[in-house]
Structure 1
Amino acid sequence: MNLEHLTLLAGQAVQETATFIRAETGRVQAGQIEEKFLNGLVSYVDRTAEEMLVERLSNLLPEAAFITEEETVAQQNAELQWIIDPLDGTTNFLYGLPHFSVSVGLKAGDDLVLGIVHHVPQDEMFYAWQGGGAWCNGQPIRVSSRAEMRQALISTGFPYHNFSRADEWFAALREFMAEGRGARRFGSAALDLAWVAAGRFDVFFEYGLNSWDVAAGAVLVREAGGYATDFSGGGDFIEKKEMLACNEGVFEKALKVVRENFGG
């Protein structure tokens, strides 16, 4: 399997989907919005975008199965598995905030081998494949070289429906805010990870994440020279639904913060 070629072809499918989402921005009516769970919004845009991706990616790899947020296709396990969030940042999209993305990852066996995150409003395509480095719109990207937590810009996601570890999260955030340059929350974990890969953020941490939130971004961060781990520093971030991503310079310091506060 030629991962570079597959990434470029999958990127075309993502680009087509992003064009559709961009065209629908501001058109969704209140009666077309559903609440799947507490603060979990969805509209026809999410579902149509997912259907577009499934159709196009199925043509690229007919043998691959799918794990998708909106479950417009049967959710199955296979040696090859596309992991898709058709619109990460749905609330931002519906409220007119220009920060949302399309996220597509590919898993081969136990390994994440391909990742694409498209920042729809800015038309920025972040992509990476195993052993091929990380890229944005044709240019190589790299995690930042900042080595001091005092210089580190932190990104996170606020708990919005799963509050089971909110106290631990607040404690970790307080420590990061006290030790770092500042903290930001934009509302798309996939883009947060892409921005760690591009050196715009130095640290990202969040709990309560699903595989489609992080699969693509983890590939980006690792191929850009960074770390993407669970809160114990291991690789079980999908199973544990938690993610720490950062550059090499602040990894040990950031890991200490999440490990001590979350009990990793």
Structure 2
Amino acid sequence: MKQLDSKPSIPYVVGSKSPLAVAINCAAKAGEWIKSRLGTVKELSTKYSPQDLVTDVDKGAETMIRKLILTHFPNHDILGEEGVAPGAAASEAALAKAKASEYLWIVDPVDGTTNFVQGFPFFCVSIALAYKGEVIIGVIYDPIRDEMFVAEKGKGAYMHGNPTRVSEEKLLADSVVAVGFNPDRTFAAPVNLKGIVALSEATRSLRAAGSAALHLAYVAAGRLSGYYEVNLNAWDSAAGALLVRESGGIVTDTAGNPYDIGVRNLVASNGKIQRQLLDVITAAGATGLH
């Protein structure tokens, strides 16, 4: 079995293309198609809540990505947002089943669907590959800016061939941190708002641009010092979490435990402010943990 990684513990099954090349190709092709459909949405519906939107473009992009992946890796499994029923319980059940897969692709065809519908230019394609539950490849593509963020476990992270590195801020008070307004208005939104209020007083400034994956890519690239949100899904965070880690940062759950694809309440940072972020969120009762 051919090995692409320097660590022999992770064997990659390689077809006519490497998994990384396939992920990049999928993201690029889907991203360009999504960009071409901006402003032309024909079917708009909701999922878990009136704030949780899905379009024909989301569905079409996921179908495109699935077909491309399975062309090269027909025996691999795929966990895509559009193939899972709405709500946290359904997401957790789908992930629990998928975790048994040896090779699992985790796909969000349009992360930031509400932005896409509004014509707000902050959305992306997010694709990750996990081997026995551990993410080994992460790709995030922003078609509006034509920025391709790529990470491979143990090999670093890059944007168009240039290494990405997290920011240098050592104090939360000097940091710009991203937050999210989760579409789950019953549980997650009130919890997130507690954290947002607390962080607004502890940071230099907050940003909420509406794409978990791009927020994580921006932490990896040093454009943000951190990111916090409760009630995310694996497809929101898998690729971005690897980008952050391979760029020198830290990703944990809101209790400070190491990230895995089952983490739903997430804190990511340059590593230097991680403890400060966690302390503020904990003190505010905003961990989202029962």
When the two structures are superposed, what TM-score results if normalisation uses the length of structure 1? 0.93
Structure 1 gaps of 5+ residues are none
Matched, 1:62 2:74: yes
Aligned residue type for 1:20:
W
1:110-153: CA deviations, max 9, x gaps?
31111011112111000101001010111110000111111100
Q: Does the 8 Å contact 1:162/1:208 carry over to 2?
A: no
**Cα distance in 2, alignment partners of residues 170 and 136 from structure 1:** 32
Deviations 1:42-94 (A, max 9, x none): 1111111001111111123222101110018x984411100000001111111
Correspondence list, 1:151-166, <5 A: 151-166=174-189
Partner of 1:18: 31
Change (3 A) 1:160 1:114: same
Once residues 115 and 190 of structure 2 are traced to their aligned partners in structure 1, the CA distance between those partners, rounded to angstroms, is 25
Per-residue deviation, 1:3: 5.4
Counterpart AA for 2:286: F
Percent identity (aligned)? 33
Counterpart-to-counterpart distance in 2, 1:34 and 1:167: 24
Aligned to 2:144: 121
> Match for residue 262 of structure 1?
286
1:174 Cα shift?
1.9
Corresponding residue pairs, total: 261
For 2:75 and 2:185, the matched residues in 1 are separated by 35
SS of the residue corresponding to residue 239 of structure 1 reads coil
SS class of match (1:160): coil
Instruction: Describe the shift of the 1:108–1:119 C-alpha distance in structure 2 as closer, same or farther (beyond 3 A).
Output: same
Identify the residue that residue 241 of structure 1 maps to in structure 2: 264
Letter in 2 for 1:114: I
Once residues 184 and 120 of structure 1 are traced to their aligned partners in structure 2, the CA distance between those partners, rounded to angstroms, is 21
Counterpart-to-counterpart distance in 1, 2:217 and 2:259: 19
Q: Letter of the 1:66 partner, please give it.
A: I
Aligned to 1:217: 240
1:33 is aligned to 44
SS at match of 1:70: helix
SS in structure 2 opposite 1:147?
A: coil
Q: One-letter code of the match for 2:46?
A: E
Q: Residue in 2 aligned with 1:182?
A: 205
- Superposition map of 1:142-153 within 5 A: 142-153=165-176
Compare 228-237 and 203-212 and name the one that shifted more. 228-237
- Counterpart CA distance in 2 for 1:52 and 1:166 is 32
For 2:260 and 2:77, the matched residues in 1 are separated by 21
Compare 177-186 and 37-46 and name the one that shifted more: 37-46
1:122 and 1:114 map into 2 onto residues whose CA distance is 22
Q: Separation in 2 of the partners of 1:36 and 1:249? A: 37
Structure 2 residue 13 is matched with structure 1 residue 2: no
Residue-by-residue CA offset, 1:206-232 (whole Å, 9 max, x unaligned): 011111000100100000000111001
After superposition, residues 203-214 of structure 1 pair within 5 angstroms as 203-214=226-237
> 1:240: Cα distance to partner?
4.2
d(CA) in 1 for partners of 2:211, 2:62:
17
Partner SS state of residue 117, structure 1:
strand
**Larger mean Cα displacement after TM superposition, 58-67 or 254-263:** 254-263
- Any gaps of 5 or more consecutive residues in structure 2? 7-17, 85-93
Which structure shows the higher strand fraction?
1
Shift of 1:41: 1.3
- Measured in 2, the distance between the counterparts of 1:114 and 1:164 equals 31
Q: For 1:172, what is the secondary structure of its paired residue?
A: helix
Question: What secondary structure is seen at the aligned counterpart in 2 of 1:92?
Answer: helix
Confirm or deny: 8 A CA contact 1:229 1:236 kept in the other structure: yes
